[in-house]
A and B are shown apart, each in its own frame.
Chain A
């Protein structure tokens, strides 16, 4: 070690930029809490209200089960129809948005379209569709198709962008047509992830289909909203429990689906 006179720089230098940004971020969070007037007493006060609400929810009231079932069936139908159409459309839209398969002008314009589908919460889209096609399930279905495209078309596109192009090159070298290349080299690489995204999207549509009813787009949400407005909290509890149950059942089914396909 005798001959070394120079001090070489530490390859892990202190990152002042990162430290500065972190400090700024923490300060902003503190400022926001202050600006919103959040405080511990306010939280405690809120808790007692929550206690009242919970007390009125117990026991859940299932006497109007026919009404509940009707809403639930409509919600499931909305979810199934919108997921099937939404996922099917997303397959193609996702491919069109994949930057490694499409020219830039195609992929970027399709990406803008996907971003538009995703830029609003389903409830806001539902309001737009209720206003344009009227109350009922049609508005709900259109809403969830839009939401599905906004979410999984993007995930599909990203999955396609991450595939190994070597496998694609090999199939291209056999003289296969574009659709055969997609079918035999792209799809096998992304299929299991697509199944995962699709089951997740159905799960999400099922949850959203109970919610968009609040703005009159059909399904269980309408029933839930009127129960809230009439202070029928025991019926609200019944609806919530049913929703949780349906989601759990789907969770179980999706595990089976994945086991079959992956």
Chain B
């Protein structure tokens, strides 16, 4: 209970005045005991910028992102968000924290049988009581915001279509609109462009970058396209075998470093 209370008190403090957006300290995660996926991750986010996490598949990028909003439970370390250790919270406190973190998924994860606009509105569920949700009583303000967001991502004409009738790029736009609908203090994107063609991938990254700038919030984006990461991110974190091996400017990504991150060099030809 005390945790919940402190959280609500601190919520009044505007994000821009607190120095740290997110602080990850010595984060550890294993699925099989002894086989660590994350071997002590330290990341500190102090600026509302786009941060790309690059690294080969299976290196724990997804796990790291999912630890932040606790879709995956970490085994050790701390994640400080709004002065709260996310590794310790549960129940309603956890749900209240989650609603401040928008998440974008590689395979969009839209509820396929709901319409596009309904999918966007699900971003507000964390702010509603179960009874309101049961009656589908979304506030007029939320409905207006949802339609405005659809306009922003260019899907106004598709509002009433079922989500599974959209193309991949369109679905990801809905996915982003849903995440932004939460009015998040941080945006987490797990390989948001990996299932898309190169042109659509750029458009999706532009959207994420725009939302990050407009709302003044950091966006953590997992990706394996290094070029795309360098183009859009202002900070790149390189991960390899469960460790952070690079954390800095996009320009600092050298061939030597890429060799270290991905292993081998034949692929770089």
Contact = CB atoms under 8 A, between A and B. Distances in A.
Interface of A: 164, 166-167, 169-177, 179-180, 183-185, 188-189, 191-192
Interface of B: 69, 71, 95-101, 103, 105, 107, 109-114, 122-130, 133-134, 175, 178, 182
A189 to B, nearest CB: 6
A183 B113 CA distance: 12
Contacts of A189: 111-113
Given A169-B71, A175-B100, A184-B122, 9 more contacts: A166-B107, A167-B112, A170-B178, A171-B125, A175-B96, A175-B99, A177-B129, A177-B130, A180-B134
B112 A180 contact: no
Contacts of B101: 173
Contacts of A166: 105, 107, 109
Contacts of A179: 130, 133-134
10 contacts: A169-B109, A172-B71, A174-B178, A175-B99, A176-B122, A180-B128, A183-B134, A188-B111, A188-B112, A188-B113
B181 to A, nearest CB: 8
B111 A174 contact: no
Contacts of B109: 166-167, 169-170
Contacts of A172: 71, 98
A110 B129 CA distance: 28
Give chain A's interface secondary structure class: helix
Nearest to A173: B103
Given A170-B105, A173-B71, A173-B103, A180 B125 contact: yes
A164 B164 CA distance: 13
Contacts of A176: 95, 122, 125-126, 133
Contacts of A175: 95-100, 125-127, 182
Nearest to B133: A180
